[in-house]
Structure 1
């Protein structure tokens, strides 16, 4: 079905252009002469853009229509990837900014689109979230082999994801082309600002839950290979274990939203996510060099299921697609700005203490407010917006 294929295609494009940079940083620095800090900015800048541009997405949808806004985000994504392929070095940063801005818009609008179109939004959000994880896993694992296969330098590794963005745009255009006239009145954004939603405790809890989920993901994603290497795990296995984490995350991302959509309240899922986090972080804290695949898989399952649940809560707690877009913009703005701080805090603690006990304990401590927020966000209620809830269109 075109609807399902289009949703999956957009989701598959939301991570590779970002995660593909990290495996190439060594070759990139050798070629360009960038310092470690400036090279690290290439991986941090898109995440900052996820937060900075997220609140603009509902207003862009108001101007051009929801489907057209997503199509434009894919076009900007392709342009950003292309910019990074050319000298001078400044274009690397300009391209990364465009990549981050484009993904921010799609991140916010896709849950709203699913809310509006799907009769069973939980099931479709599961597909969307699983595709996010698959895209991240493939982006991390395939970038370097692709560059070697085509015989190019690091630019070849980045160029492969341009084709994926264009393919996603080709699948999405039939959806965008059918939506503007019929749906523009339903997509209109009212005069009230999205930030006013945070006056409600429910919106604040959804926002905190998605933010602390993002802190876990980006912190472990940035430092897991180093943590495992310090524990005596061979460097050659670090990438495989990171891939295992993403694969387990895809399973959690597929299952959690599908289950959430069938439940009146999602608190049992919040507890299941907490349990998986405790197993994963507990193992990495106490015996990282033994049973490593179990701890990494448990963390991946927790992160994939938890983040997918957070996105699904945006849909389930919103009475209308419009509210889902507004709440998504606010929650992801705060969430990704928190996420950008996470790896820095973990790295600072590692440098300060010379080990991983304090950093992992910090992440474990974050589970307390995360679970508190998730417990409140999982209560069966809707945000109060004055809008009449709309029934979803059948798929």
Structure 2
């Protein structure tokens, strides 16, 4: 493989790291900030629960459809230019989503999904290029940036809506792509045109789509996704139905996002000491199962259950990304498994919010959604035991 890492050429790695972290802040916050505002949007546009679920589902569908092509774009025009295009699309998407019409709400979310797909796929490659000897540390840092930005957006959404209206609350997520665009553009101006990295990947000898182990990794990631996006979309509604104020529900929602960054601090060293990841996969799934049960049987302890769910879901996401490298024997296989897992993951996860909303519409209660999440978490634990075995495709 022919690859020249820019790390050897970079004189100000701290500034490069800040730029990468700024990009990371755009990968969840624009989507997850909608959750605390769903009830308001339902009232504003007379949306059914199913249609409200699609506010989160549409960008995830776009993520799944666009993700396989993001790598090809970077090979033609380079990482930085691809990221600039993605950030511009995101800025346009956020503006359209905040414009005030129902069709603009949905169309804007689709554009946001397209932009996140590009950043989500390319950021790990940029980390590997710029910090080839610090991949784990930098990946943990950008994982925390994702969680912190999502937590900030969730926690401030309702107060901003109360003071300025829902349109302004949605528009405030512009700050993340705005800062990221500024930093990436400054880097391009300072370092000139960074050429696309040329690699001779060839073709993998194995087809990951026909691999049982590959599907176990993909299903583990996808189950975590469908549970997470359903809960992150509807938790404020679940909590208000249980008697919490919208402000309290928004704070708990943000606290859950904050909890998701904790695994980024501790999971790496713990997994490094394990001979395989079966126990870790099962425990992270069980954390989610217990948390969902807690929302049903002890809703007054919602802060505790939100913290547990954030820990379990955030940890399972990080572990899923680890699986992509650990379960493959070559960069080619890792790239193929990543494309397969992320494509299926987002397409399946996209239906979580809509299905949860439909179940609520049919039953008039969130109990069916929470019980379904418990069942999926149990299946996820079982699949994780297989995906966590110390073997490769």
TM-score by length of 1: 0.82
Distance 1:82 1:235, change over 3 A: closer
1:206 to 192, 217, 230: 217
Cα deviation 1:210-235 (Å, max 9, x = unaligned): 10111111121122233333434454
CA contact (8 A) 1:228 1:288 kept: no
Q: Note closer, same or farther for the CA distance 1:189–1:139 as it changes in structure 2 (3 Å cut).
A: farther
Over 3 Å counting, the alpha-carbon distance change for 1:293 and 1:35 in structure 2 is closer
- Corresponding residue for residue 233 of structure 2: 222
Post-superposition CA distance 1:239-263 (Å, at most 9, x none): 2221221121121233324544565
Residues 1-395 of structure 1 correspond to what in structure 2 (within 5 A)?
1-25=14-38, 33=45, 35-36=47-48, 40-86=53-99, 90-116=103-129, 117-146=131-160, 151=164, 153-173=165-185, 184-186=197-199, 190=202, 196-257=207-268, 259-260=270-271, 265-285=276-296, 287-319=297-329, 323-383=333-393
Tell me the equivalent position of 2:4.
none
Q: Secondary structure at the match of 1:83?
A: helix
**Matches of 1:313 and 1:176 in 2, distance apart?**
33
In structure 2, stretches of 5+ residues that fail to align are 1-13
How far did residue 354 of structure 1 move? 4.3
Q: Distance in 2 between matches of 1:183 and 1:320?
A: 21
Q: Alpha-carbon deviation of 1:335?
A: 1.0
User: How many residue pairs align between the two structures?
Assistant: 377
- SS of 2:299's equivalent? coil
Q: Is the 8 A contact 2:57 2:354 kept in 1?
A: no
TM-score normalised to structure 2 length: 0.82
Moved more, 219-228 or 33-42: 33-42
Deviation per residue, 1:35-73 (Å, 9 max, x gap): 446555333211211112112122222222344323332
Q: 1:284 to 1:25 in 2, by over 3 A?
A: closer
Q: Deviations over 1:20-42 (max 9, x none)?
A: 334445665676x5644655533
Asked whether the 8 Å contact 1:121–1:261 carries over to 2, the reply is no
How far apart are residue 295 of structure 1 and its match? 1.9
What is residue 389 of structure 1 aligned with on the other side? Answer: none
Structure 2 vs 1, CA of residues 206 and 66 (structure 1 numbering), >3 Å: closer, same or farther? farther
Structure 1, 175-184 or 136-145: larger mean CA deviation: 175-184
Structure 2 vs 1, CA of residues 78 and 17 (structure 1 numbering), >3 Å: closer, same or farther? same
- Deviation, 1:274, is 2.8
- Decide whether the 8 Å contact of 2:80 with 2:194 is kept in 1: no
Distance 1:147 1:355 in 2: 26
- Tell me, in whole angstroms, the C-alpha distance in 2 between the residues paired with 1:179 and 1:310: 35
Q: Secondary structure at the match of 1:184?
A: coil
RMSD (Å), alpha carbons:
3.2
The Cα shift of 1:362 comes to 1.8
Return the alpha-carbon distance in structure 2 between the equivalents of residues 280 and 259 of structure 1. 22
